[in-house]
Amino acid sequence: MSLFDVTLFATAFATLTVIMDPIGTVPVFLGLTARYSQPKQRHAAIQATSVSFGVILTFAILGGQILRLLHISMEALQLSGGVLLFLVAMELLMGTDSSSPDTGDEGVNVALVPLGTPLLAGPGSIVAVMVSVGQAGTNVGSWIAVIVAVVLAHLVMWLTMRFSLMLSRLLGPGGIMLLTKISGLLLAAIATQLIMEGIFQFIATAKLS
C-alpha cells in the first residue's frame, strides 16, 4: 500500500487550485477589501483561507456519510461533479463575472462571506474534494494525498491574497485575464475526465448487476 498517492494528489491539487482561481481572485479580493488598511487586508486573507479550509475539510470528512444518508452513489457524484466543474470552467472561459459577489451589507466581514465561502469554498471546490475522497476510498496514502492537496491549495490562495496588490500591478488586467482563460481550459479538461470516468463506472456497475 502506497504511503502517498502522487497521482491523486496532483489531480486534487490542480482541480482545487483551478476552481478557486487564485489569479482571478486578486481583483475581487482587492475590491472587497479596498477600504481596509494593509494589516487588516493581511488578516482578511488569513480569515478567508481559514474559513474555506474548515468548510472543505468538514465536507471531506463527513461527505461520505452525507452521500450514504442520501443514498447517492460515488458514480453519480463523480458525474454530476464533472458537469458542475465544466459549468465553472465555461464561466472562466466565457468571462462570466460570477466571482464578484454583492456584499449587500457593509457590516458583514467580507473575509468570511463572500470570500471564505462561497468564493473559495463554493459548490465546485466542495464537490471536487468529495470526489477525491471517494477516489481515495480507505487507502491511507490516498487520504494523506487529498489532505496535503487541500492544505497546499489554500496556501496558494493565502499567498495570492497576501500579495494581491503586487500581483495586480505585475500582471495587469490582460495578464490576469489570460491566466484565467488558461485555468478555465484546464478545468474543462479535468471536468471532462470526471464525466467520462463516471459514465464508465456506471456501465461497469450495470454489467456486474
Per-residue pLDDT tens over the stretch 193-209: 888 988 888 888 877 76
Note whether residue 197 is domain-resident. yes
Note whether residue 107 is domain-resident. yes
pLDDT for 207 equals 77
Note whether residue 1 is domain-resident. no
Mean pLDDT value of segment 162-168: 91
Task: Give the CA angle between residues 33, 35, 36 to the nearest 5°.
Answer: 65
Which candidate, 193, 135, 177, 194, places its Cα nearest to that of 21? 177
Grade residue 186 by pLDDT with cuts at 50, 70 and 90: confident
Distance linking the first and last C-alpha atoms of the chain: 29
Mean pLDDT value of segment 69-95: 82
**CB count in 10 Å sphere of residue 112:** 15
pLDDT for 209 equals 65
Mean pLDDT lowest among 77-81, 96-100, 170-174 = 96-100
Question: 40-57 as b/e, with b when 16 or more CB fall inside 10 Å?
Answer: ebbebbebbbebbbebbb
**Per-residue pLDDT for 76 more than 80?**
yes
pLDDT for 74 equals 74
Q: Per residue in 95-142, pLDDT tens?
A: 765 445 554 445 568 899 888 987 899 878 988 999 999 899 889 999
Rg (C-alpha) for the chain, rounded Å, is 18
DSSP-derived secondary structure letter, 5: -
Note whether residue 47 is domain-resident. yes
Note whether residue 15 is domain-resident. yes
Task: Give the CA angle between residues 183, 189, 194 to the nearest 5°.
Answer: 125
Mean pLDDT value of segment 11-16: 95
Note whether residue 204 is domain-resident. yes
For residue 103, what are the domain limits? Answer: 6-208
Q: How many structural domains is the chain composed of?
A: 1
Grade residue 69 by pLDDT with cuts at 50, 70 and 90: very high
**Per-residue pLDDT for 175 more than 50?**
yes
pLDDT for 96 equals 60
Note whether residue 43 is domain-resident. yes
Note whether residue 38 is domain-resident. yes
Which candidate, 180, 193, 81, places its Cα nearest to that of 127? 81
* Mean pLDDT, all residues of the chain: 86
Tell me the whole-structure pTM to 2 decimals: 0.78
What is the percent of the chain where pLDDT is above 70?
Answer: 93
Q: Per residue in 28-60, pLDDT tens?
A: 898 888 889 999 999 999 999 999 999 999 989
